[in-house]
Structure 1
């Protein structure tokens, strides 16, 4: 993990130095823009690097969707023989050059990046011993500057649940920190919901009840969980998350236009027709028509 922390720090420090040429060390509107934009451009750097992998993921998903009729036929044929079913599926994937694991790759790559940034920002504490400030390629001057960086008066290293003692060390006002944190948490929840909803639009609503339940869990459960976990995230991490979601929304808009989901049962189920992302009534009735 030390290599990941060092890599995250190197990208963050690079963009900080770049934006420092524009803003110097002057805080405007209570914000150290060179550090805040450093976090934003850290996201953009990671996502641009991952973009080719993301395109491969979409192509893999479309290939898997095209194979669904054959997969369903194999599942029906070998319903009582799991071993044969697995062999037949592996052979099908090999023949059609489809990779069901490719859909998870971009997410798996982003997890260590998120955890790395979380650790680095949690590490930024003014009272940190000097020999620990120089970990991961930082200088003492850079560490002290980052640990005191603020967004509209709230330190990026603080969180909604920062204690009075922690805020005193950061020289921060508790009301300001909580207000900024709450606004960012709300943005994180909303953009996560929109991103999850758009992800479902990429593939369409599943007809299988269990799969549809998982889609609804992703649509509503993940944003709801962020209401709790967002309280402990440093403000800098929430900036990272919101920026990631905004990038995802733009990226997925392009993907939906460039690689539209294939028609399902003669129609393309492209958007939930009811508020909050529920599947259309016609989609709810399809399984019953087949019985």
Structure 2
């Protein structure tokens, strides 16, 4: 609502190219706000990952030394992390913080449908009835933000283009990371990398066909930002060369 109001103040009731720009840009800048706010956590995550890469030889040595003694191994690993001021949990912190935000935003966007007619449901998130009706009927290049790819017409074309951009950006992000770090030596690690490279884009391709256009716009913006952010991270914090 903040970004919608801001863009409405700047653009007025702009609807060029059959697009309600204040609502479309509201979704885009909502994603950018969340992602920018998480940059400090992402930087901390990357630094932790690089530190763990440096510690890998010592970690493997402890694993060999205490093979079969899980309790002692965990104690030694905690001591090592504490001494080097490294936290393995830092690598998943951005994901944990972002997850409820993403699910919440997706729920709000999926809720914006003209089919929702109950006054209680339309004002569920603090919307006024006028705001809800305006958002639910907003369009992107002639396609309603609440419509899905299956609606046909402009919705089919706009959704298809956004889905392709989203899938390609996600694939390039995974490929870029794998190229920078190399394929994992272990079979399990390689399986995870293949799932990230092929499985995640494939799942977005399928799910994008069922999500409302507003959600697809959200994920496309998210994917493009993730690719740009990772490009910057790999230049600012290059991966640690593998040691043997």
Alignment correspondent of 2:225: 247
**Within 5 A, what are the aligned runs for 1:43-192?**
43-127=31-115, 128-161=117-150, 174-192=152-170
SS of 2:38's equivalent? Answer: helix
| Separation in 1, partners of 2:87, 2:186 | 22
Q: Which runs of 5+ in 2 are unaligned?
A: none
Partners of 2:148 and 2:209 within 8 A in 1: yes
**Shift, 1:198, TM fit:** 2.7
Aligned-pair Cα RMSD in Å: 1.6
**1:101 aligned counterpart, secondary structure:** helix
Contact 1:30 1:153 in 2 (8 A): yes
In structure 1, what is the Cα distance between the partners aligned to 2:81 and 2:180? 21
How many residues in Structure 1 have an aligned counterpart in Structure 2?
243
> 1:150–1:156: 8 Å Cα contact kept in structure 2?
yes
Provide TM-score, normalisation by structure 1.
Answer: 0.79
TM-score, normalised relative to structure 2: 0.94
**Hey, what's the Cα distance between the residues in 1 that align with 2:107 and 2:225?**
22
Q: Once the 2 structures are TM-superposed, how far is the Cα of residue 126 of structure 1 from its aligned partner?
A: 2.2
Shift of 1:149: 0.5
| 1:37-67 Cα distance to aligned partner (Å, 9 max, x none) | 0001001110111010110001100111011
Q: Deviations over 1:65-97 (max 9, x none)?
A: 011001111111112211211111111111111
Q: Counterparts of 2:69 and 2:57 in 1: how far apart (Å)?
A: 19
In 2, Cα distance between the equivalents of 1:108 and 1:235?
Answer: 26
Question: Which deviates more, 40-49 or 209-218?
Answer: 209-218
- Per-residue CA deviations over 1:98-117 (Å, capped at 9, x if unaligned) read 11111111122222222112
